[in-house]
Amino acid sequence: MYTIINSVLIIGCGKMGSALLSQWTSGDESFTVVDPMASGLPEGVRLVRDRDAIASETFDCIIAAVKPQMIDDIMPAYAENLAQSGYVLSIAAGYSADRLSKLMGDAPVIRTMPNLPAAIGRGVSGLCPGPHASADHMAHAEDFMGRAGTTIVVETEEKIDRVTAVAGSGPGYVFEIARAYAEAAMAQGFSEDEAREMVLATIGGAIAMASEPDAPSLEDLRNSVTSKGGTTAAGLDALNGDSGLSDRLHATLQAAYDRAVELR
């Protein structure tokens, strides 16, 4: 059990903030969002357009949910809104916990890197304790992010940047693979709707099978549908026979990680 967090202030509420908020509200905290453009928030969430509306209030947890490039300009104004025993939870990719802590008057900071399926409770979030974060702060952050899916605790910011590359940006890679897969299916004579349904059901079924308890390794699963000289073998040879797909995925993750490091 951790110190009770009663009030949460969310600075910025774009796509990721909204996705998380839809799951966070299943708890007992009260939520206030500061965002000049936000709309359609969950019932019971207070929306204000600027800091003036909450200038004299303090909150047990402040969520930094603005773009990393905006943190320096926006977050310092909210340092006085953090309760004495509270902490800051940052969902900003790349921006270091140490920098944010100093920006917020040496506040306790925890970094998290969620991904978009958090909107349906199927997200993957990395968590990393930053300066001055206590065990109670981490316990709350784990519970908080656990409402949106799976959480992975890592000990270094270098590792959270790698979580960003693998999971945080990951849905974008999956959607692009699915898009290209459906496009290829359409070239085989299927309509857009037929291709989308077939591709997503195939991907979804394969992932569900691989996610079963005691499922074989991914390599063994691949081999189980690959007969020597068969259609799957021919397709896999075209897909990755020269390791082109593997090489491109390695390059994809490295590029995302490198950009996360640049944002520190």
Per-residue pLDDT tens digits for 127-167: 999 999 999 999 999 999 999 999 999 999 999 999 999 99
What distance separates the 2 farthest-apart alpha carbons in the chain? Answer: 72
**Residue 21 corresponds to which tokens in the numbers above?**
């908020």
Residues 129, 139 contacting (CB under 8 angstroms): no
pLDDT of the residue at 262: 87
**Amino acid symbol at 258:** D
Return residue ranges of the chain for CATH 1.10.3730.10: 170-262
Distance CA 89, CA 55 (A): 20
Look at the domain 7-156 and name its fold. Answer: Rossmann fold (3.40.50)
Closest CA to 251 of 122, 142, 165, 161: 165
Phi and psi at 87, nearest 5°, equal -145, 165
Per-residue pLDDT tens digits for 182-207: 999 999 999 999 999 999 999 999 99
Distance CA 94, CA 124 (A): 17
**Residue 119: HSE in the Cβ half-sphere, 13 Å Cα cutoff:** 11
Look at the domain 170-262 and name its fold. Answer: ProC C-terminal domain-like fold (1.10.3730)
Return residue ranges of the chain for CATH 3.40.50.720: 7-156
Per-residue pLDDT tens digits for 211-260: 999 999 999 999 999 999 999 999 999 999 999 999 999 999 999 999 98
Residues 112, 127 contacting (CB under 8 angstroms): yes
